[in-house]
Amino acid sequence: MTATTASALAAGLGPDGLSLKASLARAERRSRLVSFALVAPLLLFIVASFCIPLGFMLYRAIDNPEVAETLPATVAAMKGWTQGGVPDEPVFAALAADLIAAQKARTTGLVGKRVNYEIPGARSKFLKVGRELERAPAGGPWKPVFEKSDPQWTDPVFWSALKRIGQPMTAFYLLSAVDLRLDQTGALTRQVPDQAIFLDVLFRTLWISLLVTVSTLVLGYPIAHLLASLPPRHANLLMLLVLLPFTTSILVRTTAWVVLLQTNGVLNDVMVWLGLLDERIQLIYNRFGTVLAMTHIQLPFTVLPIYSVMKGISPAHMRAARSLGAGPVYAFTRVYMPQTLPGVGAGCLLTFILSLGYYITPALVGGPLDQMISYFVALYTNRELNWGQASALGAVLLAVTMVFYAIFNRLVGIDKVKLG
Partner 1 sequence: MNRTDPFVEFSGVQKTYDGETLVVKNLNLEIARGEFLTLLGPSGSGKTTSLMMLAGFEAPTHGTITLDGRPLNRVPPEKRDIGMVFQNYALFPHMTVAENVAFPLRVRDVAGPAIFERVKRALDMVHLTSFTARRPGQLSGGQQQRVALARALVFEPKLVLMDEPLGALDKQLREHMQMEIRHIHERLGVTVVYVTHDQSEALTMSDRVAVFNEGAIQQVAPPDEIYERPSNSFVAQFIGENNRMTGTVEQREGGQCRVRLDDGTAILATAVEQATVGARSTLSIRPERVRIDPAPGAVANLFDATVEELIFHGDHLRVRVAFGGVSDFVVKVHNSDDRPSLAVGAPVRIGWRPDDCRALDAVG
Q: Which residues bind partner 1 (CB under 8 A)?
A: 314, 316-317, 319-328, 330-331, 334-335, 338-339, 341
- Residue closer to partner 1, measured from CB, 340 or 371: 340
- Residue closer to partner 1, measured from CB, 52 or 320: 320
Q: Please give the Cα distance from 248 to 393 (Å, whole number).
A: 30
CB of 216 to partner 1, least distance (A): 24
CB of 420 to partner 1, least distance (A): 19
Q: What are phi and psi of 296, to 5 degrees?
A: -60, -45
Buried b (16+ CB within 10 A) or exposed e, 327-338: eeeebeeebbee
**Phi-psi map region of 155: left, alpha, beta (phi>0 left; psi -120 to 50 alpha):** beta
Measured between alpha carbons, how far apart are the two ends of the chain, in Å? 50
Cis peptide before 193 (omega within 30 of 0): no
Q: Please give the Cα distance from 184 to 165 (Å, whole number).
A: 11
- Residue closer to partner 1, measured from CB, 175 or 318: 318
Under a CB-based contact definition with an 8 Å cutoff, are residues 299 and 220 in contact?
yes
Under a CB-based contact definition with an 8 Å cutoff, are residues 385 and 344 in contact?
no
- Residue closer to partner 1, measured from CB, 168 or 328: 328
**Phi-psi map region of 370: left, alpha, beta (phi>0 left; psi -120 to 50 alpha):** alpha
CB of 62 to partner 1, least distance (A): 46
Bridge pairing between strands 180-182 and 188-190 = antiparallel
CB of 346 to partner 1, least distance (A): 16
Q: Count Cβ atoms below 10 Å from residue 380 Cβ, excluding itself.
A: 21
Q: Count Cβ atoms below 10 Å from residue 354 Cβ, excluding itself.
A: 17
Under a CB-based contact definition with an 8 Å cutoff, are residues 149 and 132 in contact?
yes
- How distant is the alpha carbon of residue 251 from its chain centre? 21
CB of 335 to partner 1, least distance (A): 6
Q: Please give the Cα distance from 81 to 164 (Å, whole number).
A: 12
- Residue closer to partner 1, measured from CB, 86 or 326: 326
CB of 233 to partner 1, least distance (A): 14
- Residue closer to partner 1, measured from CB, 240 or 320: 320
CB of 193 to partner 1, least distance (A): 50
3-state SS assignment for residue 180: strand
Q: DSSP alpha helices (H): ranges in 106-197?
A: 108-118, 122-135, 143-149, 156-165, 172-177
CB of 313 to partner 1, least distance (A): 9
CB of 236 to partner 1, least distance (A): 21
- Residue closer to partner 1, measured from CB, 10 or 316: 316
- Residue closer to partner 1, measured from CB, 336 or 405: 336
Under a CB-based contact definition with an 8 Å cutoff, are residues 175 and 182 in contact?
yes
CB of 273 to partner 1, least distance (A): 45
CB of 331 to partner 1, least distance (A): 8
- Residue closer to partner 1, measured from CB, 26 or 317: 317
- How distant is the alpha carbon of residue 191 from its chain centre? 21
- Residue closer to partner 1, measured from CB, 84 or 325: 325
- Residue closer to partner 1, measured from CB, 22 or 335: 335
